[in-house]
Amino acid sequence: MPERRVWARRPFNYDGVELDRGQIFELRGRPNDERLIKLGFFAELGSKEGRDQDTFPCSTCGAKFMDELQRRAHGDKWHPVVPRSPQEQERFEDREMDIMERIAPLNVGQEPVVIG
């Protein structure tokens, strides 16, 4: 099966991996893959966008991103210069989800979202 590269439109946990917006990832052939694309969690990468030299890797964990802003947002979230308390981290992630509802809404329509 050929590799199928996608990027995460919003932060979520795919198959045990925490992904952030803009993160480039290779699908693992899970039963829900098509559904995750249809709902808008993932968008497919064309061959050009998928080239390694065009990605922005995190210098701390190596996660690859579509652009510099997305890489910086990921760093702010997971590798803050000043550590956050669990409550502060929760508030940070709540705020992030509010932003995602605006910039990357899911294609849920009337159907309930079931992931797993």
Chain centroid offset of residue 74 CA: 9
Residues in CB range of 4: below 8 A, 6 or more apart: 26, 27, 33, 44
Give the SS3 label for residue 79: coil
Residues with Cβ within 8 Å of residue 99, at least 6 apart in sequence: none
Name the residue nearer to Zn ion (CB basis): 60 or 107. Answer: 60
Nearer to Zn ion, 9 or 64 (CB): 64
The contact mask relative to Zn ion for 51-90 (x = CB under 5 A, - = no) is: -------x-xx-x---------------------------
For residue 93, the minimal CB distance to Zn ion (Å) is 15
Contact call for residue 17 and Zn ion (CB under 5 A): no
The residues that touch Zn ion, with contacts defined as CB under 5 A, are 58, 60-61, 63
